[in-house]
Amino acid sequence: MFTTRPEILATFGVVTSTHWLASQTGMSMLERNGTAFDACAAAAFVLQIVEPHLCGPGGEVPAIFYSAKNDKIEVLCGQGSAPAGATIQAFKRLGLDLIPGSGLLATVVPGAFDAWMQLVRDHGRLRLRDILEPAIGYAGRGHPMLPRVADTISGLRDLFTSEWPTSGEVWLPRGEAPKARELFANPALAACWLRLLGEAEARTPDRDGQFEAARDIYYRGFIAEAMDRFCRTQEVLDASGRRHKGLLTGDDLAGWKATYEAPLTRDYHGWTLHKTGPWGQGPVFLQTLALLEGIDIAALDPAGEAFVHTVAEAMKLAFADREAYYGDPAFVKVPIEQLLSAAYADERRKLMGPRASHELRPGTIPGYELQVARMLKGVRRLGSVQQTAGTFGEPTMQSMQAAGTARRGDTVHIDAIDQWGNMIAATPSGGWLQSSPVIPELGFALNTRAQMFWLEEGLPASLAPGKRPRTTLTPTLASKDGKPRLVFGTPGGDQQEQWQLSLFLRHVHHGLNLQESIDLPLFHTQHFPSSFYPREANPGQLTVEASIGDGALKALEARGHRVEVAPEWSVGRLTAAGIRPDGVLHAAATPRLMQAYAVGR
């Protein structure tokens, strides 16, 4: 079939990401004899510079990777936890029923930096300077400003001028919003990374020691001190319409570190899928596959209305279970074995019919009845189930449903495979330029990931100090015949699993290559409560790209879906990379938004 780009084929290495500069940066690490992990980390730091409305140095990252040396698949959890002072009672005393989606109250420990430092220390070959220098260069000397970044900053000009002046100093040089495609620099961030690098190298010439020093500087040195001081002394306007200080402290930062974990897995038609635990939404992907296992997906047109309807209805059921059962397993007991079991899927599959569901229908697991009832009551009480309009594409590209400080950020993604067979998928996010004010000494903002907690007692995603928010960030690794074969992912909040599933099913059941699978029309549903402030839901809603055709759109409406038609080439930002059984590497990136690129040789 015709594709917008060729699927990249290579033998030495491949890198694919949501921005061409990051992909090329990653590839340059491979050319310097670095590993896929060096490539991924260097690309991630560049993405913080060139897509600052989607990720930043104060954000978080989950990654899933295969180490050829250790012959092991692991999850790296760079999702920071809630501060010690972040209790439900503390928010209730402020008169809040939801955690604001912007400002300082929603900040958790920034987890991405520690995750990258540990990953490269343990699995890389290059030095700290090698990893940071490309990002320092783009921050200090400048990079071509993406139109969407320029538009985001322009839309926030009044906020940056009147309420968040420290952001204005960075993003409104000379008091004006930057112009698209013109050179833009962030000298304050470049100076921050240069200081960190200089201090780390001054402490020790040892490679591993420098990564350890960098971790210490970020979480206990001048960077941590600046974060602590800013949260203690600044009251900033947030999405609640009021001004609040932050809850994050130096002690919170000093006591946290990223962790390696075993992935959750499930077999599907000869493949084994590897995902994060239920502190993220990764198991939704596995639950949906369990539901689809009893359906002949191969017999459905991969761009037809029956395929879209079937996948969407399965997703609705899996996401309902996410609301009812998922949370940080260090704090709550998640019945994950039952949720992923064939018997449970067989019962749930009976709910899937020819008509679109308009109800939130979590499954029933003995012992969890009260928890499920609380969830449903909380959703109703907070008015999350409501009609919303004009919401297609990923959150960043939506017609922001709430104005001003509620403007929603999004995410980036990176996949990399090297000459030794190491592979990684990572989905960095948070610390968006629109999330909270810039910390002047650092040149970057903190994250707002705590908005994913509920301020209701007794729910698996209820707020608690030290708890990880139930993130939407969800990279994927797939193996076949015991060999790691694919890494893939996408930005997009609650849509991440949905777009990834289309890619995987089309590749597995219909024999399409990665680029073909990405290029076909994409779709998603916002039927269930959003993970983001203000937690809205849109029962029965289904967004579909117009390229699917009028006939399919009408057929989906006839099934009862509340169809919202998205423009062609506007939904999703998928990237993917793999190793074929003959050893040939292949990679692809979406043409949508004209940013993502796959490179290799």
* Chain segment 77-99, per-residue pLDDT in tens: 999 999 999 999 999 999 999 99
According to the model, what pLDDT value does residue 407 have? 53
According to the model, what pLDDT value does residue 383 have? 59
For residues 180-198, give the mean pLDDT: 98
Q: Tell me: the pLDDT tens digits for 110-125?
A: 999 999 999 999 999 9
According to the model, what pLDDT value does residue 255 have? 97
Write the Ramachandran bin of 540: left for phi over 0, alpha for psi from -120 to 50, otherwise beta. Answer: left
According to the model, what pLDDT value does residue 1 have? 82
CA distance 485 to 477: 8
Confidence band for 36, pLDDT divided at 50, 70 and 90: very high
According to the model, what pLDDT value does residue 391 have? 29
Flag the least confident range among 75-84, 115-124, 134-143, 372-381. Answer: 372-381
Confidence band for 381, pLDDT divided at 50, 70 and 90: confident
Within 13 Å of residue 238, how many CA atoms lie on the same side as its CB? 28
388 in Cβ contact with 401 (< 8 Å): yes
Residue 454, SS3? strand
Confidence band for 396, pLDDT divided at 50, 70 and 90: very low
Residue 72 has pLDDT above 90, yes or no: yes
According to the model, what pLDDT value does residue 404 have? 38
pTM given for the model: 0.95
CA distance 409 to 439: 18
Q: Tell me: the pLDDT tens digits for 272-289?
A: 999 999 999 999 999 999
Confidence band for 311, pLDDT divided at 50, 70 and 90: very high
Confidence band for 410, pLDDT divided at 50, 70 and 90: confident
For residues 208-233, give the mean pLDDT: 98
Confidence band for 235, pLDDT divided at 50, 70 and 90: very high
For residues 269-274, give the mean pLDDT: 98
Residue 379 has pLDDT above 90, yes or no: no
CA distance 571 to 499: 9
Q: Which residue is it, tokens 């490679």? A: 207
According to the model, what pLDDT value does residue 329 have? 98
According to the model, what pLDDT value does residue 114 have? 99
Flag the least confident range among 300-304, 427-431, 528-532, 577-581. Answer: 528-532
Confidence band for 177, pLDDT divided at 50, 70 and 90: very high
For residues 137-144, give the mean pLDDT: 98
Asked if omega into 534 is within 30° of 0 (cis), the reply is yes
Residue 210 has pLDDT above 70, yes or no: yes
CA distance 329 to 474: 16
Which residues make Cβ contacts (< 8 Å) with residue 349, sequence separation at least 6?
Answer: 291, 294, 295, 314
Residue 346 has pLDDT above 90, yes or no: yes
Pairing of strands 259-261, 243-244: unpaired
- Beta bridge partner(s), residue 264: 275
- Beta bridge partner(s), residue 543: 524, 564
Tokens of 19: 């921005």
For residues 250-264, give the mean pLDDT: 98
CA distance 567 to 341: 38
> What is the rounded average pLDDT for all residues in the chain?
94
